[in-house]
Amino acid sequence: MADPFFLMKGQGPMDLKGHRALITGAGQGIGEACAHVFASRGAGLILLDRNPETLDQVKKRLAGTGVKVQIRIVDLTDILLLKEVVQELLEMGTIDILVNNAGFDRPGTSSRIDEKKFMEVMGIHLVSPFTLIRMLLPGMRAAGWGRIINISSIYGLTGAKGELAYSTAKAGVIGLTKSMAKEAGQNGVTVNAVLPGLIHTPTIENVMSDQYKQPIIRDTPLGRIGEPEEVARVIAFLASDEASFVTGVALPVSGGWGI
C-alpha cells in the first residue's frame, strides 16, 4: 500500500474528519483500500472481517495515519453475533458511514449449486448488509446525515454463466440500494451502489485462472484489470459531501466492461 495518494489529506468537501465509517470485508482487497483512503481523509474507522491475521495487518499498516481504528473479528453471516458487535459499537458513538463490501462466491450453474450454497451467497451479500443498514440508519436519520455505499458487481447488471448465486445476489444489492435510497433520502441519508469490474484482489489473483481473466480484459475498453484503490476512491467520493446530491445510483467502476 505504497501508492502516494494514501498520503494525501482530504480537504474541503472530500474531508471526512469527524465521521465514523464502518467497512466490512476490510482485511484485504477493496475493503482494505477503502480503509486507507478513508483514513487519508480523516475518518475514524471500524473494520470488520472474519480473518484475524489479515485484519490485524491492516490495522498495523494504518498505525501512522493518526485516525482511530477499531477492528472486530466477526463472521457477518452469524447475524446474532453481528448484531451484538454493532450494538456494542453504537454504544461508543454514532456510525454515519457504512460500506457494505464483504462477500464471497459459490460458483455454479443451476444444476451444480445446491440450495445451501445459494443461500450462503444471499446471506453475505444481502442479509448482512440489510441487517447493518437497519441498525445504523436510525442514528444517521437522527443526525440528518449519513452515507451508505453497497458493493455490487457488473455481474449484477449482466449476469454470468456459472455465477448464478453471485450474479443474483449482486443484482439484489442494486435493488436494495435503490429502495433504501427512496426510503432514507428525506432524512439526509444517501444510499448508493458501486459495481466493480475485474479488480486486482487476492481472490482474482489466487483463484481466477487466466483463461477466465483474459476474455474480460479483452472486453474492457481500458484494456486492463483495475486496482482496489481505484474503486476505493469512488466509494470515498460517494461518502463525501462532494456527492451530496447523488443517491440511488448503481455506478460501474469497471474500465468500461459491461457497457
Q: How remote is the C-alpha of 167 from its chain's centroid?
A: 16
In a domain, 64, yes or no: yes
Residue at 100 is within a domain: yes
What's the residue count for the chain? 259
DSSP class of 91: T
- pTM value surpassing 0.85: yes
Say what the pLDDT of residue 12 is.
60
- The single residue of 118, 166, 237, 257 carrying the catalytic annotation is 166
- Does the active-site annotation cover 166? yes
- The reply to whether 205 falls in a domain is no
CATH number at residue 68: 3.40.50.720
Q: Which residues contact 123 (CB under 8 A, 6 or more apart)?
A: 77
Give 9's pLDDT tier (boundaries 50, 70, 90).
very low
How many domains does the chain contain in total? 1
Domain assignment present for 139 = yes
Q: Report the percent of the chain where pLDDT is more than 70.
A: 95
pLDDT in tens, 100-124: 999 999 999 999 999 999 999 999 9
Say if 134 falls within a structural domain.
yes
Q: What would the pLDDT profile of 166-181 be if each residue is shown by its tens digit?
A: 999 999 999 999 999 9
Given a cut of 60, whether residue 202 has pLDDT beyond it is yes
Identify whether 4 is part of a domain: no
Give a yes or no: residue 156 inside a domain. Answer: yes
Express the helix, strand and coil content of the chain in percent, nearest 5 each.
50, 15, 35
The C-alpha cell that represents 128 in the structure block: 448482512
Summarize the confidence of residues 138-164 as an average pLDDT. Answer: 97
Q: Tell me, what DSSP letter sits at residue 39?
A: H
Residue 207 lies in a domain: no
Range of the domain at 246: 16-198+228-253
